[in-house]
Structure formats: structure tokens, C-alpha cells
Amino acid sequence: MFGLKEAFRTFNGQFGSGYVRFCKRNFADEASQISRPKWRKPIGEHTGINIYNHSMRQKVPLILRNPQMVTWYTCGPTVYDSAHLGHASTYVKVDILQRILRDYFKINLVTAMNITDVDDKIINRAQLSGLDWQKMARAYEAEFRQDMLRLNVQPPDVRSHVTTTMPVIVQFIQQLITEKQAYVTPDKSVYFDVSTSQNYGKLQNLGLSEEKSDPVKRNTADFALWKARKSGSEPTWEAPWGGEGRPGWHIECSAIAGLFFGRQLDFHAGGLDLRFPHHENEEAQCCARYKTDQWVNYWLHTGQLHMVGDPEKMSKSLGNTISVTDLLKKYSADEFRMACLLSNYRNAMPYSDQLMSTARQTLQRFKNFRADLSAYTQFLKPVHLMDEGALRAQLAHTVTEFDNSLRDDFDTARAISVLMDQMSSISRCINEQQVDAQEEPAYCMDLLLAAGNFINRAIVTFGISELLERESVQERVSSEHGIDPSLLVDDVISVRRRMRENATSGDVKNIQLLAACDDLRSLLQQHGIKVRDHKQGSSWVFAVSCQKPND
């Protein structure tokens, strides 16, 4: 969490010094801070999962109102430009959290997202480019969807555009006006009156001062629900309170989330930079609209991505962005996902080639482990005597620690470490121990395969797809050409093995034949297939290349 001074400096730059002074935290009035409700524990079923609560500054238990249906809303993109890695890290991290809840904890998530397809940024960009704003928004939305597919981010159950839910937004605003929680200004704009919200500022722990510096607003912190028409060229909609205009940013998410999920929401996710003012204002609007003191039970905020050495987040306005397309020219989607897994979802993510190299090496370790275990169980490696009791205890420890990691605020970095410790232990067992000729080997194949299955399922649960690459490629090529590529590679490896055996069977090694084997290994490596030689044969695994070729 960034410091208070940095937070106010950010707010000052975005909203003006008067707004900051109005919303600054009141350290003197500790009583008001204590009396303001920050978070109310839901009534329902305890899950044994703990989630960090920013306003409480501690972890709180995840309690589900209805375990058979859990609701989740994510703030979607404003489609005025291409997505960059800052956006990608948020959506990949959210996807990881949803997969953990859905696939590991077996929670029935119902997910929704908005698409902001009308906004000042969209209108200004379209005017500068000489484009139709609707066509431009649709083009960038299509690009965003394609980027998410390429990053293996599962789409929400439902998406909703601002432009297609305008009647719902207008009805939401009208209700707030009727309840005197919003007011219409002379130019027919509408503002939310924060003085009617007892808990305003609870997400950011902000106190409210009495200072007022805006001649139009009743309170400096009041925010726009509806913006009146300013020019004849901008898109507008008719409003029942008079005139034409379009919605403010914050009301869009509130109305769309309320449309799907009603008066209470289990999860609401977005980047940390959205916590204030966007999420604070969403919470205030919906608490007013639905007459509750807590609309969202669990806010999940992802840490921001920034370049190493640059303290500022990756942002289009700062010009320090890397597009998803450029990322995928150099690294795979799974490598980027692994980089996200290696840091807590709440933490800032310092992006660099070193980080991506670490992610690549980590991913390769999972591939190598799978290949080694497969070679061992296919008797391509010598079978060793193993301690069945120790293996059984270690598997139980791995399962327990992995589960504890995910229950502790989705600590994926710790979970990956737990899996890697298990892989290292098994690799030592199958690669370093020697056969004891005096004792009959205890194969423990069942325990080894059980550990391998758990590790594979765990990593696939996080959305890593490359471990399934061998099967998916095989299925695709088999269906299209009637060829089993796995068997084809196996046959090539078998021929190479016989060549090596012939080259080393005599008193003098056949150097030319061994060189041909090395050439064949290099050729397979160029095609993404890494050959691994063992005492009793060879196996292969899809390899991570040093750099992906340009499209």
C-alpha cells in the first residue's frame, strides 16, 4: 500500500488541491475514525479462507452468503487505446484468483464485467484521429478481447456495455435524485451528495473537512453522476431531469453491477489505483441506492505493474507502456502468468527481463520435472530403492502447505515454492540414489505418480497451459492430418537412441555417428523439443526457447 503523502500527491494531481484538502485524513479526530464502520462481517458459511481488507489493514475471513452462488464483478476497460502490460497484469491476476476459487475451492462463481465504450477519453481520441467514436471503441474492444484470449484469461460470464445499459444507469441516477442523495445543477448535470453518505471514505480511510471551494457543488468531494452536454458533436442521451448528457465514470459500474447482482455483491476486483476515488464512489452510490451500509463484502485490489527503476505505474499518459503484442513477441503467455504468480496479487509488480527470465526458468522446471517423472515410470531411468514412509509424509505435507498458502490471501508465490520443493525432493530420489543390490527395490510408483498428478493439477489450476501443450498439439494435428506427433517424435528419439548405442557399442566410439546424434538433438531443439538422455534410453519435453521469433 502506498503511503498517505504519496496518495494525496496523486489525488492532488488528478483532482485538484481543493479536493485533496476536502478529503484529507483527519488525524486529530480519532473518534470519528473509530466510530465509522469499516467492514461488517457477512452472515453465512465460513470457508477457511482469509482475504486482506485494505480498510481494516488486516486479513479477514471469507464468509459466503450463499455458497451455491458467489458473485464477482470486475471493472472492465475503457476502450480508447490498446491494452498494455499494466492492464494485462490486473486481468491475469484476477483470472488467477477466480480460477483458484472456482477450480481449487470449487466455488460457483458468477462473474460480470463492464465495457466503458463512451467516455471523455474515447471522444477526445476519436476527434483527434478523425474517427467515428463508436467504431473506434468497438475496434479497441475487439483487440482487448483478443489480447485476453492470447493471455489465457477466461472471459466473464457476462459483459455489458455502458451504451447498451443507459436506461438502467438513468434509472439508478433518478432514484438517487428522488431520495435526495443526488442533486441537479443549473446546467442539468447531476452530482452525488457525499454529505448524505455516513460512511464515505471508508475504503481509503479518509476524513472529510468542511472546506468548500467549488461554486457548483454543494461539497467539494461531490462527484458527477451525469454530465450535461457541452458541445453539439459529443454523444448524449436524454435525461428525465431535463436536457441531454452522458453518465459519469463511477455510476456506470454501480448500475451495471447492480443490474446483475442487486443490492449486495460478494467480490469486486480492480487495480489498486481504482480504490479511490472510483471504488469509494461506487460503494457510496450503491449503499445509498440499496439502503445498506455495505454493498461489497470483499474488495480485491491488484498491485500495479511498473518498469524496474521507474516508480510510476505503467500508464498511457506517461508513455512508458509495453503492449500485449510486443510482450508475446518475446515471451509466452504462460511465462507472463508465471511472473504474476511469483508475486502476491496485492503487491506492486516490477517488470524486467530478469523477472521474465526467472518466470521462464521456473516454468521450465515444471516441464523438466514432468519429463523426468515420465522417464522414470517408463523405466528409461534406473529404478531406485525409496523410503515409502518419507514419500507419503512429504506428499501429505505438500498438499497441506499448498492448501494453507491459497487459504492465506491467495499466496501463489508461497504455493509455487511448495510445489518446487516437492519436485526437487522427488528429482533427487529418482536421479541421485543408487540401486542397492542387496535389497529388493521399493518402487513407490503410486506415490510418485500421485505427487506428479497433484503438481500438474495445481499448476493447471493457475491457468498455465504449456504443461498441456503436448496433448493439445497431438489432438490438433491428429484431427487435421491423421498423424500422431507424439508417436512421431517418440520414433525419432528411438532411432537416435539406436544410433547412440551403435556409436558406443565397440571398443572405439564412432565420433561421426555421435556427431549426427548431436545434430539431430539440435534440430529437435530448434523446433521446441528438448531431448533428455538417460542410462536406459531418452525422453523429450517441449522446451522454452531463449526468444520467441517475431510474428
**74-90 pLDDT tens trace:** 999 999 999 999 999 99
- Return the pLDDT at 184: 97
- Return the pLDDT at 304: 93
More confident of the two residues 128 and 466: 128
- Return the pLDDT at 23: 45
All three cell numbers of 211: 472546506
Spell out the domain ranges in the chain: 4-351, 353-464, 481-551
Predicted TM-score (pTM) of the model is 0.82
Is residue 548 predicted with pLDDT exceeding 70? no
> Tens digits of per-residue pLDDT, 425-440?
999 888 875 545 455 5
- Return the pLDDT at 457: 95
More confident of the two residues 92 and 427: 92
| Helix orientation angle between 166-178 and 249-261, rounded to the nearest 10 degrees | 100
* Three-state SS annotation for 3-36: CHHHHHHHHHHHHCHHHHHHHCCCCCCHHHHHHC
User: Count of H helices and E strands in the chain?
Assistant: 18, 16
- Return the pLDDT at 336: 98
- Return the pLDDT at 547: 46
- Return the pLDDT at 1: 37
Question: How much is the mean pLDDT over the chain?
Answer: 86
> Tens digits of per-residue pLDDT, 138-179?
999 999 999 999 999 999 999 999 999 999 999 999 999 999
What ranges in 130-194 are assigned the alpha helix state H? 133-150, 166-178
Amino acid at 34: I
* Three-state SS annotation for 256-301: HHHHHHCCCEEEEEEEHHHHHHHHHHHHHHHHHHHCCCCCEEEEEE
**Cβ density class 384-415: b for 16+ within 10 Å, e for less:** bbbeeeebeebbeebbebbbebbbebbbbbeb
> Tens digits of per-residue pLDDT, 506-545?
777 888 888 887 888 888 877 777 787 776 667 777 665 4
- Return the pLDDT at 160: 97
Closest CA to 410 of 358, 463, 479, 345: 345
β-pairing, 305-307 with 349-351? parallel
> Tens digits of per-residue pLDDT, 219-269?
999 999 999 998 878 999 999 999 899 999 999 999 999 999 999 999 999
Q: Between the ranges 9-18, 191-200, 482-491, 525-534, where is the mean pLDDT highest? A: 191-200
Architecture per CATH, domain 353-464, reads as Up-down Bundle (1.20)
- Return the pLDDT at 492: 81
Chain-centre distance for alpha carbon 132? 32
Percentage of residues in the chain with pLDDT exceeding 90?
A: 63
Classified by CATH at the fold level, domain 4-351 comes out as Rossmann fold (3.40.50)
Average pLDDT over every residue of 265-294: 96
